[in-house]
Structure 1
Amino acid sequence: MTTSNPNNNETLRSRAQALRLNGLVEHWSEVADANWVAPLLQWEEDERAHRSLQRRIRDAKLGGFKALGDFDWKWPKRIERSAVEDLMSLTFLNDATNVVFIGPNGVGKSTLAQNVAHQALIAGHTVLCRSASEMLGELAALDSDSALRRRLRHYATPDILLIDEVGYLSYSNRHADLLFELISRRYEARSTIVTTNKPFSEWSEVFPNAACVVSLVDRLVHRAEVISIEGESYRLKEARERTEARARQRSAKRTAVKKGTAS
């Protein structure tokens, strides 16, 4: 015989209501003490959490990236590892702090940003990742005010917006105005993560003649966590290592052929 626990039953009933299992709730008095109720609710909660995570990962469009555990911290000449690891705690989301990764090409800015964003997805937050060129090009191409407002709202809504590769191309004044509008909408409300290969002093080269650049940078960096990375491109290092490995393989084959011919 199952001993009824009123507090536990009420907790289970609340969970069933939250899951909108209306049929179960309607017949609660008949099933409240059944041993299968708690496992059933747990299965349903776990499955919905899994589906929610998969949907948010799909919608985030993070793409493939190297896990933080595989990141070579010794390669950059300068990087504040503790600051990056602190970002993984997601405390910056509590007060809508922005995050900016600054450094030359190939030092891991996008990888680190994607890891932070992925951690946020696992924790239940919504994320959207776009390259600056893709996002600003899309916004600038919209030919109606209503369509532009809807798309700006789309980018302003996620808990984290990751804008990748600011500085690799130059943009028109309209692009600058659109980015300023988006950053302003998210300002002190939601966190924005930006990766850039340009120090802020050179953003006037990214947005030539745009009057809003100073205000844009001001809004972005206010209460922001700025992670500066110095070093050579890790991709070039890997390419060099692959080239050297292939050269060794070819040399070994030539040596083996010579030995075979000599014998």
Structure 2
Amino acid sequence: MSTDDALLNRAKALRLNGLVEHWDEIAGAPWLAPMLQWEEEERARRSLQRRLRDARIGHFKPMADYDWLWPKRLDRAAVEQLMSLSFMNDATNIVFVGPNGVGKSTLAQNIAYQALIAGHSVLFRSASEMLGELAALDSDTALRRRLHHYAAADVLAIDEVGYLSYSNRHADLLFELVSRRYQARSTIVTTNKPFAAWTEVFPNAACIVSLVDRLVHRSEVIAIDGESYRLKEALERAEAQSTQHRSRPASTNEKEYVA
């Protein structure tokens, strides 16, 4: 394929119909290739911004700042492999299991962001937000439309399963969503409860065994053990502030009071 044909195909892909219509008049112009590149880069930038806004991943600590030495147990090699997004090739699910504050959400956010950068559609929602939204819909049409919205994303991250308990209707909605994505698209879940304790999260729900079965059938389960990293950071900030206060010179009023 000639350079001119390649440029023409790029113009068609961008749907620059005016340029395509007058291609014979502008083919070979020195400004044509840079202009197409500028248009492609700008559209890619706007697409990323839009997908970032829709994904709602939120603020998170990048993997470069993640303290791998803090958790007592975490398979770093497995997490780094997940960052390559190879799990998406066969719609593998990811489940991060561990106590509060060990970085489950941070890892999920980084993987979701990596998928966004690679051009995939991503949705990141807390379990309470998503299930509450679905349960509040009062028409079958609206519910079907919203379920399709969540089911269609290349990557759906469901954060904080297990921090609240839910009704049977919430359980049925989650089962319906997981079933729609089953073996078709990857789902990321973070939870502070082992699967055996999900009956506490969804008490009396008949679908829990089937839900867990579909979720873990083709999945990478990453267990994290350790103390809360958030608590560690809070204690470090408190200690730093205390040290700063002790080293601060006394003000004039303080000196007069001591005198």
Counterpart of 1:189? 184
Counterpart of 1:3? none
Note if 1:96 corresponds to 2:100: no
- Cα deviation code 1:59-110 (max 9, x no counterpart): 1011100111000111101101111111111111111111111110000000
Counterpart of 2:244? 249
- Cα deviation code 1:198-253 (max 9, x no counterpart): 01111111101111111000000111011110000001111111222233333335
Note if 1:58 corresponds to 2:53: yes
Structure 2 counterpart of 1:72, one-letter code = D
| Separation of aligned partners in 1, 2:28 and 2:242 | 72
Counterpart of 2:144? 149
State TM-score, norm by structure 1: 0.93
5 Å matches for 1:198-237? Answer: 198-237=193-232
| Separation of aligned partners in 1, 2:27 and 2:250 | 78
RMSD: 1.8
Counterpart of 1:10? 5
Structure 2 counterpart of 1:197, one-letter code = N
Deviating beyond 6 angstroms after TM superposition, the runs of 4 or more aligned structure 1 residues are 254-257, 260-263
Structure 2 residue runs of 5 or longer lacking an equivalent are none
State TM-score, norm by structure 2: 0.95
| Separation of aligned partners in 1, 2:246 and 2:21 | 77
5 Å matches for 1:27-176? Answer: 27-176=22-171
State the identity as a percent.
73
Structure 1 residue runs of 5 or longer lacking an equivalent are 1-5
| Separation of aligned partners in 2, 1:254 and 1:19 | 63
- Cα deviation code 1:134-167 (max 9, x no counterpart): 1111111111111111111111111011100000
